[in-house]
Structures are given as C-alpha cells and as structure tokens.
Structure 1
Amino acid sequence: MTDPAASILILDDDPDVACAAQLLLRRRYGKVATLNDPAGLAALLAGGVPDVVLLDLNFTPGRIDGAQGLAVLDQLRAQARPPAVIALTAYADVPLAVEALKRGAGDFITKPWDNERLVAAVDNALARHKPALGASSLMGESDAMRELKAMIARVAPTEANVMVLGENGVGKELVARAIHQASPRAAATFLAVDMGALPESTFESELFGHRRGAFTDAKGDRPGRFQAARGGSLFLDEIGNMPLAGQAKLLTALERREVTPLGADRAEAIDVRIVSATNLDEARLFDPAVFRPDLLFRLNTIVLRVPPLRERAGDIPALLSHYVALYESQYQRPARQIDAGALDQLCSFDWPGNVRALRHACERAVILGGADQYRYADFGLGAAAAPVAAAALAAPAPMRLGAVERDTIAAALEQAKGNISHAAKMLGVSRAALYRKLGKHGI
C-alpha cells in the first residue's frame, strides 16, 4: 500500500536504526519523521499527531525494563486521537512487547527486523487507523475492472484460497490486498512474500521460522512468514518461480495446516488465508515440469485474472491523474495538467509494463517536466523522450553530477532493501560518508 497522505514517526534512540526504518518507509508514505529522544515528543505532537508510531521500548543504554517506552506509549494513547503504535524490541524483549500490546500497542516488531514484515505491520496499522477502502481502491471503471471488483466482493468473505493471474505490473498485490481488506481477517496482518526471491538454502527458515542455534547464524528464535501472518492473509507472490523442491515443502505445510520451525521438535498449527499470484501463462502453470499439479489445486480454488492495461485503455486518464497528483505531493511540485495531445498519445500507448510502468512514467514526468503542462516527452516513452534527454545533457555539470549521485545512492538503497551497511559497501564508501550524502540529497 502506498499512501502519500500517511504520516509515520520512528522513535528510537539509535540513529542508525531510525534512519534505516525511515529509508525503507519513506518511499511508501507521505511523511516519515524520526526522533531519538522522547523528551522532544510533546513538541512534535503539538504540531500534529502522526498516524503510526514505531516505538522503541528502551532509551537509556543498559536499561532493559522498558519503563521509558511504556511511559511514552501511555503518552501517545492519551492523545485525543491516538496514533497506531508498533513496538520495536530486541529478541530478548518479547515479553516486554507483549506487555506493550496489553497497554495499547497494536503490534510489535523484533530487531533486526524483516523489511517485508515491517512494511506489512505499518500497512495494517494504517488500515486500522484509516479504514481501508477495499476493492474500491482498485482504480478503473472499465467493464473488465468492474467484473474483477465484483469477483473480489464475492470471494473475499470466504476462506477460499485465491490465485491471481496477470502480466507483470498489472497490480496483482493490490488485488490480494483488496481481498484481505474485504475479508473477516482484515484487522489482522497482510503479509506479502516474493517466493521467487527466497533462496533454497533459507526457504524453510523464511517461511516456517527457526529456533535459536538451529544453524550458525540463528542467534535467536525467529517466526517464519506463516507464524507472522497468523490470523491474517499470506500473499505468496511470483509463486510460479518457486523451485520444485520448495513447492513440495509448501504443499506439505498446506496439507497438514502446520509447520515445524527449523530446530524445533514440535509442529505448530497455522492459521492463514493463502492468496497467491503469478505472471506465468496458464499453459505453463499446468505443466507438471514447471509447477506441481497437487500444489496448484491447493492454491487455485478461485482464480482471478487481472486484465493488462492495454485491454482497459479507458482507465488510463484516471490512472495518470492519480499518479501525477501522488508524485506532485511526494516531491512537493506544483499541480499541472497533462497537455491534451500528450494525453491522447499516452492513452494510445500499449503500456507493456502495465500500471507499474505508467506509475514510473508519471514519477519521471513530475521530476523532469519543466513546462506549464506535462508533455508526452516528459514521460520517457520511446523516442519521443529524446528532447528531455538532450535538455538534461545541456544542464550545468554540478546539477547533472548531483542527480547522478542521488540516483545511484537511491538505487543502492533499494537493492540493499534499506540496509545502510550493505548500501555503503556496494557504493564503496563508509557508513558515515553515506549518511552525509543522504542528508545532502535529502534522501
């Protein structure tokens, strides 16, 4: 979920921890602030209460009782419209986090966190704080989209497993979230997992969890994705990219409705609804050399097909308007209209990357467009973008070099999933140097 109007506060005494969380979340939400000392909280709240607060429970080195964090939690809960609170805690502080839940926190995250789990927790906190729109958040009024929304409305209240099919970029995760938000599990976690990105060596640990000492780097108990999504929905994205060995392990878990964490001697019951997605065409999906038929039949009780953007061209103007406005807000740029001729060209473009490509094109136009109205070239679609590229080359060198550096840093952070140490290593600079550059470029 991307919400440019959402405000997030990260309250943690470790600047590195706060910065890492900020870098991860600021791409999805409108305002992500950090605070390292709870003494400054009252002044911050006077300027407006955030929607979600990520709250560390200990602020003084050596203290582990959590008294400071719980006092801050009480302060937050006393607001006229209190924010949703997610407790941040080390593995050893889990009992303290449970106490925070009893006193009003909505969730807790263990440090070091899993990026997908943290984003899912914030998304769900926002869904509770700002009631979700469900299937109505799927933009488009074409016949194909109306039919899809009607199917979601019929399927969501059930416990049936759903498989979402569609090309890259059509919005399969958005469909999965709409199913979750319109289901009886809406108040619980929606957790998305990129199945194709899970290494075979850590597949079981990532999905089913592990116990301390189960392998060399297992320094504490860690819940898997199935346990983390307990009571909610587990979205298995790009499931068609799973190796057959992983498919067999997943099938066993679904058949038995239980998982056994690595290093554990007992299985744990699972309570999740499975929504899966793939961009494989159905002929390949039914090829047993690619995908196990027994697993497929477990997953595709209901099949939803998301139409590509070229088959619903009538929805393109509304999507363009939405994403241009979103990025104008995110980058604090003035509102501008799309030139009428450019709009015609954009509507006739076949959009091979679907809504994802349209979104990226809108972001590019907002950043680079310099005229009173957006021109077709601003969107960077094919040869028509050449004048923009030429203009960029003609820009003064310091501006051009600064933009290249900023883009390179942003790409490294994205590849490192917000991990400052990994990004610094990729860029060949120290952590301190990277922090200075982050401040310089306002990243």
Structure 2
Amino acid sequence: MSDSALRVVVVEDRRSMREMLDQTLTLEGFEVVTAASVADGRVRLARGADAVLADLRLPDGTGLDILDAARRLSPAPPVVLMTAYGSVDVAVEAMRRGATDFLCKPFDTRLLVERLRLLTRGPAGGVVADGVVAVSVAMREVVDRARQAAAAPVPVLLAGESGTGKEVVARLIHAASPRAAAPFVAVNCA
C-alpha cells in the first residue's frame, strides 16, 4: 500500500457497478482493488485494505462473509455494505456483525466518497482502529495494549470510572481477537 493513497477493496459481482466504483474512487485519489466474488475478495483482503466496500449479494456468498474476513484482519478495516435489496433487518444484522455503514443502491457516489474518507481518516495524526480514533500518545498506547491483549488467550479485566471507555476498549479487544466471530456481550457491573 502506498503512503499517499488509501487502499479500498471493492467486492461487487456486477461488472458495470464494479467498474463505475473503480473509476469514481480512483479519480478521488483512492487505490482501488476490485473483486467479483467472496473468494476473490478474500484474496484481495489478505493483501491489506484501508477500507472495504462490498455488495451484500454475491455469487458465492454474501457481503457478510467479506465482513467476517475483514474483521479477522489486524487492524480491521472499516466495511461498508451495499445492496439493492435493503431492509431494516438486513441493515441491523450487518451493523450487529460489525459493518461500519450500510448503503442502499442506487446511492450518491459523492456520499460514498465522503464516508470512505471519514472512515479511513481520523483527526490529523489520528490512528483509526475498529472505530476507535487515537490521537494522543496515551490513547495510541491503549490501542496497542488492546491489540496485544486480543492476541493472548487469557481473560482481560478493564477497570475504571463510569464513562471512561471501558466498553469501547473491550469491543476493540474482541474485534481484534480470534473470537471476533463470536457474539460480544457487554456486562455492566455497576
């Protein structure tokens, strides 16, 4: 991946839509890698991605399969799912499984570009990890330690006052762990 262009993996089975997204995002300065199937998308994802844009209906699976593959990466890139067959239930399921956004086709490509830029760039100098923007040295250290904890097969205790972000860090650990495909259940012991 180059330092200047953010790499977006686009998984879309319709050739015309895939080419349109490729051209649009390339003109906007993104490095675009396209795939027409879940299998091809997984191969492209394995080479790295700053963001993922996937159709919900694919010939050999669904965009949720791409979402699951992306969540296993470290750091996990934001995933935007798109579909021409949108329903509230599908959108809720996608968000529950970790999708960052959900777009119904047809959509305004300017909106897509804006969302991708927002998702891949935090504030100046910020590091984005599974939805957590870490700008300060202290928060970057928290994100690094959370990633280390995620790799260890041991329980993690997060303690702190109410409102300090314990659940956010717990979700970050869960998303980066081998258990990311399992449900995350938040328990408030207060």
Q: Residue 112 of structure 1: which of 95, 106, 109 is its match?
A: 106
In 2, the alpha carbon distance for the partners of 1:94 and 1:33 equals 29
**What is the Cα deviation at residue 94 of structure 1?**
4.4
Output one character per residue of 1:243-264: Cα deviation in whole Å (capped at 9) or x when no partner.
Answer: xxxxxxxxxxxxxxxxxxxxxx
Q: Is the 8 A contact 1:90 1:110 kept in 2?
A: yes
Secondary structure of 1:88 counterpart: strand
| Structure 2 residue 45 is the aligned partner of structure 1 residue 45 | yes
Matches within 5 A, 1:300-311: none
**What is the Cα deviation at residue 93 of structure 1?**
3.7
Q: Residue 132 of structure 1: which of 119, 123, 131 is its match?
A: 123
**What is the Cα deviation at residue 97 of structure 1?**
2.3
**What is the Cα deviation at residue 95 of structure 1?**
2.8
Larger radius of gyration: 1
Aligned to 1:57: 56
Aligned to 2:172: none
In 2, the alpha carbon distance for the partners of 1:33 and 1:94 equals 29
Matches within 5 A, 1:6-405: 6-46=6-46, 48-60=47-59, 68-127=62-121, 131-133=122-124
Q: Number of aligned pairs?
A: 124
Secondary structure of 2:48 counterpart: coil
Higher helix share: 1
Report the RMSD for the aligned CA atoms in angstroms.
2.4
Q: Percent identity?
A: 33
Q: Which amino acid aligns with 1:54?
A: L
Instruction: Check 1:44–1:116 CA distance in 2 against 1; reply closer, same or farther (3 A cut).
Output: closer
Q: Is the 8 A contact 2:9 2:44 kept in 1?
A: no
Give the number of the structure with larger relative contact order, counting CA–CA contacts within 8 Å between residues 6 or more apart. Answer: 2
Q: Is the 8 A contact 2:38 2:65 kept in 1?
A: no
In 1, the alpha carbon distance for the partners of 2:89 and 2:56 equals 12
Output one character per residue of 1:293-333: Cα deviation in whole Å (capped at 9) or x when no partner.
Answer: xxxxxxxxxxxxxxxxxxxxxxxxxxxxxxxxxxxxxxxxx
In 1, the alpha carbon distance for the partners of 2:110 and 2:30 equals 19
**What is the Cα deviation at residue 91 of structure 1?**
4.8
Output one character per residue of 1:359-417: Cα deviation in whole Å (capped at 9) or x when no partner.
Answer: xxxxxxxxxxxxxxxxxxxxxxxxxxxxxxxxxxxxxxxxxxxxxxxxxxxxxxxxxxx
In 2, the alpha carbon distance for the partners of 1:121 and 1:85 equals 11
Instruction: Check 1:112–1:94 CA distance in 2 against 1; reply closer, same or farther (3 A cut).
Output: farther
In 1, the alpha carbon distance for the partners of 2:62 and 2:111 equals 25
Q: Is the 8 A contact 2:79 2:99 kept in 1?
A: yes
In 1, the alpha carbon distance for the partners of 2:109 and 2:41 equals 26
In 2, the alpha carbon distance for the partners of 1:116 and 1:5 equals 18
Secondary structure of 1:86 counterpart: strand
In 1, the alpha carbon distance for the partners of 2:23 and 2:70 equals 24
Output one character per residue of 1:84-124: Cα deviation in whole Å (capped at 9) or x when no partner.
Answer: 10011125344312211111111111111112211111111
Q: Is the 8 A contact 2:10 2:32 kept in 1?
A: yes
Instruction: Check 1:94–1:34 CA distance in 2 against 1; reply closer, same or farther (3 A cut).
Output: farther
Instruction: Check 1:94–1:55 CA distance in 2 against 1; reply closer, same or farther (3 A cut).
Output: farther
Q: Which runs of 5+ in 2 are unaligned?
A: 126-190
In 2, the alpha carbon distance for the partners of 1:121 and 1:98 equals 19
Normalising by the residue count of structure 2, what TM-score does the alignment of the two structures yield? 0.58
Q: Is the 8 A contact 1:49 1:82 kept in 2?
A: no
Q: Which runs of 5+ in 1 are unaligned?
A: 62-66, 135-443
Higher strand share: 2
In 2, the alpha carbon distance for the partners of 1:118 and 1:95 equals 22
